[in-house]
Amino acid sequence: MTTTAPVPVTSSRADRIRYGGLTVLMLMGFLLVTAEFLPNGVLTEMADALGVTPGQAGQTVTVTALVGLVVAPTVGLIFPRLDRRSLLVWMALAAAVSNLVVAIAPNLIIVLLARFLLGAALSAFWAMSITVAVRLAGPEHLGRGVMFTSAGVSLATVAGVPLGVMLSEFVNWQAVFAIAGVLMVLLAVALRFVLPSVPAEQASSIRLLVDTLRRPGIALGMIGHVSVVLGHFLAYTYVRIALERIPDVDASTIVVLLALFGLGGLAGNLSIGFIIDRRFAFFAVFAPAVIAVSVLAMILLSGTVIGVGIVVLVWGFFSSWLLVANTWVGHRMPDRLEAGGSLVVVGFQGAITLAAGVGGLLVDTLSVEVVYVIGAVVLVLGAVLFGVSNRVSSRAALG
């Protein structure tokens, strides 16, 4: 493992951690993820207005994940010297344009094209967030910096999309997207004036990504990362079906249970974020193991609402996987933050796409119980691979 010399402490902790910049990053994560999944909450209204089926309208979410597979590994190559603050500003503006075009789009084709911009903005944000977090929090507090970006995602899960749905009850769905677009413009201004300059790292390339994977333990860790995300989303994508197995459950109870998952995620992100820098190797193994147990418990305890409520709360608490994965990247490859961040995003988006597709086939042909068991097995595989990866990396560092 490549190591860096200790950073001399020349200023106070408050000076070293730029909480204003980290808060703006958190807001960007919140707005981007809210916009990404906003169609889920207004799907019926959107489909009716565009004259398409709900399934076709649902592809507005799918395209954002697919774009990530292309943008994440290439954004550094396309903009090798552009200051990362400027890149985030441009991505915020791209997301603003996406939302505003969706608000006035007359048909699904234009909506899908607009959502490509949002997918690019999301992937660029995640690929660059580690580099910017290090600049704002300092290498010794990388986990705390990443915690802010992950908190934006958790907050969007808990409040962002529900807030969008609530707004759609007072105004139409187009107005909700327009509001999101205006907020992204304001965020772009805040990014420009609150973030410090963040010079680009070594120009990214496919060769650099491959070379990064060749480092001791990194390839194993990345396969583990994909396994964890795949196992998690095999279960979470079809959590509604799993919850409907509870006897006499109604829609309001399901909403409460999903809210418990989101609240657990927010609490876990904030709690783990303060200690992740010292315990990233532990949580890379422990978190997916706990999620695997929770996924199995969803099936075994489906006869009781209270039991399932406890399970989803625990599951949500340990579900802030990007916090763990990005901190792992920051400590295992501090000289390749952009390359590592790109690999994490590619693995994440690819695993989500695979989970939705394969999981859907398995749910239709077999059962949700089978999907959850497979998800738990894949999660355990991810935990084992990370355990081996940590040992390989540690031996290489000592050698």
- What percentage of the chain exceeds 70 in pLDDT? 90
**Other beta carbons within 10 Å of 217:** 22
What are 204-254's pLDDT values in tens digits? Answer: 566 777 787 888 788 899 999 999 999 998 888 777 778 888 887 777 787
What is the C-alpha separation between 278 and 274, in angstroms, rounded? 9
pLDDT digits (tens, 9 = 90+) for 128-179: 877 888 788 777 777 777 788 777 877 776 677 667 767 777 788 899 899 9
Whether 3 has a pLDDT exceeding 60, the answer reads no
206-398 has the same fold as 13-194: yes
- CA of 100: how far to CAs of 60, 163, 211, 256, in Å? 14, 18, 40, 31
Q: What does the mean pLDDT of the chain come to?
A: 82
Please check the confidence at residue 380 and state whether its pLDDT lies above 60: yes
User: What type of residue is 337?
Assistant: L
Distance of CA 256 to the CA centre of its chain: 22
CATH fold, domain 13-194, is Growth Hormone; Chain: A; (1.20.1250)
Indicate the pLDDT class of residue 6, thresholds 50, 70 and 90: very low
According to the model, what pLDDT value does residue 265 have?
84
Predicted TM-score of the model (pTM): 0.75
Cα distance between residue 73 and residue 79, in whole Å: 12
| pLDDT value, residue 205 | 62
| Closest-CA residue to 342 (of 195, 225, 187) | 225
**Averaged pLDDT, 45-72:** 78
Neighbours of 104 (CB within 10 A): 12
Segments making up each domain of the chain, as ranges: 13-194, 206-398
DSSP string, 99-168: HHHHHH-SSHHHHHHHHHHHHHHHHHHHHHHHHHHHHHH-GGGHHHHHHHHHHHHHHIIIIIHHHHHHHH
Amino acid in position 234: L
Instruction: State the architecture of 206-398 in CATH terms.
Output: Up-down Bundle (1.20)
